[in-house]
Amino acid sequence: MNKFYRPFMFTIVLFAIGLFVNALDHAVIWSTFDLNYILIVIVCIISEANYLLNQSSIKHSLTAPLTLFLAFYNPLLLCYLGILIYETIGKAIIAKREGGSNHILDEKWFFNVSQFIILIGFSKYFVTQLTVLPTYEFAINLLSLVFAYNLVNTFLTHLMISLYNNTNHFKRISLKNFVTYSFSYFIILLALIFAFEAYGFVGLTVACIFVLQTQGSIFTNLTAKELNHRLSVDKMTNAFNRNFFDEVVELNLVAKKPFSILFIDLDDFKLVNDAYGHVIGDALLIDFVAIIKSLLRKENRVFRYGGDEFCIIFDNIEQAKSVQKRLEAFVFMFHDEKSGSMIYYHISLGLYEYTSDLEITYSELIHQVDQNMYNDKKRKKCKEKDETIFELS
C-alpha cells in the first residue's frame, strides 16, 4: 500500500461529505420523489447487484447512465440519497451471499459512494446548462458530458487501485474499452431521457427493461468470451493450449486448407529445471513465449503442445521458413533476476507443410512434424558434440 493511499481516501471522502452537506442547504422539492425516482433507484440496485455478482473478471456497470438520469430530473440531495441506497443494498446482497463475512461499510463502499457523489455533484452543474431537445447540439453536449464523466471515473478508480496496490494500474487502461463504454453510457442515457420525455413513466419503464437486458447481454458475452479464452489458452505461458491446437489442425485437415506447422522443442530443458528449479524453469518458458510472439505476425498463433514443446501454425510455407530462419539465428537467453545468472539455451525445429492434395491423418501429421524436429536435434548433436546445451554465467 502506497503511503499516499490513506490521505487520498480521506480527501475523497471528506470532499464528498462537503458536497452532501452543501446539498442539505438547498430546499428539496419532495414532489420529485415519485415513481420515476423509485423506478430508477430500483433498477440501479438490480444493475449494481448484477455487476457485483457477475463471475467474469471483466465487469461492466450500468449505474453511471442511470445515476446521470437522476441528475437530470432530481435535486442533488435526492441523487445523493439514491447513490447511498443502491450502493448499500448492493453491498448487503453480496455480504449475505458470502455468508456475511464481509463488512458492508468497508473502504470500497466509502470510495464508491464518495466517487459517485463527486461525479454527480460536478455533472449536475453541466446538466442544468442543457435543455432537453431532440437536436444535434443536445446530443453532442450530452456525449461530451458522458465522456467527461467516464474519464474522471476511470482516473479516480485507477488512481485508487494504484495507490492501494502500490503499482501503476493505469497501464491496464484500454482506450478501446473506454470509448466503447462511454458510447454505451451515452446511448442508454439518451434512450432513458427521450423515453421519459415522450411517454413518461411507461416509457421510462420500457427503457429500464432495455437497460437491464443490455447489461445481461454484455455479461453473457463477456463470460462466454472469457470461458472460451480459459479453455483455449495455457494459463502459465499465455500461449494457446494443446486442445485448441488439435482443434485447429483437425479443422484444417477436414477443410483441406493448406497450412504449415513449425514445431519447437527446448533442448535438454530438464537440465534447467534441475539446476535452477521449476519456478525458474516456468519463468523461462513464459519469457520464451513472449520472445516467439514478438517475432511473429498478428495472425500467427503460438501453441504450447506440452512441457517445453511449442507449435506455430502458418497459412503458408514462406512465412514458416522466414520465422524458422529468424529462430535459428536468434540467441536465446533468460536472465534470472534473483540469482543474477544468465541462462543460455538452444532450440530444435521441425517444419512441415500440408497441402490440400495430401491424404494424411492428424496422428500421421504430428508424427512427421515430430520426426523433422528430432532430425534437427540429432543433426546439431552430431555437429556440436562437445558443446554444452546451455551455459550459466
Domain spans of the chain, in order of start: 5-232, 242-392
**Cα–Cα dist 140/286, whole Å:** 46
Architecture of domain 242-392: 2-Layer Sandwich (3.30)
Contacts for 145 with CB less than 8 Å, ≥ 6 apart: 68, 123, 126, 127, 130
Q: What are phi and psi of 132, to 5 degrees?
A: -70, 105
- From first to last of its 393 residues, what are the pLDDT tens digits of the chain? 778 888 989 999 999 999 998 888 776 666 667 888 888 888 888 877 777 666 544 455 678 888 899 888 888 888 899 888 888 887 787 777 666 556 777 788 888 889 999 999 889 888 888 888 888 889 999 999 999 999 998 899 888 888 888 888 787 788 887 888 888 889 889 989 999 988 989 998 998 888 887 766 665 555 555 556 667 788 888 888 888 888 888 888 888 888 999 999 888 888 888 888 888 888 899 999 988 888 888 778 889 988 889 999 998 888 889 888 888 888 888 887 777 778 888 888 988 888 878 788 888 888 888 888 888 878 777 666 555 445 444
**Which residues in 139-287 belong to E strands, given as ranges?**
259-266
For 279, the enclosing helix (H) or strand (E) is helix 278-294
Residues 95-129: tens digit of each pLDDT = 776 665 567 777 888 888 899 999 998 898 888 88
Q: What is the model's pLDDT at position 168?
A: 82
Amino acid identity for residue 274 in this structure? D
DSSP 86-146: HHHHHHHHHHHHTTT-S-SSSHHHHHHHHHHHHHHHHHHHHHTT----SSHHHHHHHHHHH
For the beta carbon of residue 321, count every other beta carbon within 10 angstroms: 15
Q: What is the model's pLDDT at position 392?
A: 46
Contact 61, 67 (CB under 8 A): no
Predicted TM-score (pTM) of the model is 0.59
Q: What is the model's pLDDT at position 57?
A: 47
Contact 82, 67 (CB under 8 A): yes
**Cα–Cα dist 289/327, whole Å:** 12
Q: What is the model's pLDDT at position 102?
A: 60
Its sign, for the CA torsion 65, 51, 43, 96, is negative
**Cα–Cα dist 8/118, whole Å:** 14
C-alpha cell at 56: 467474469
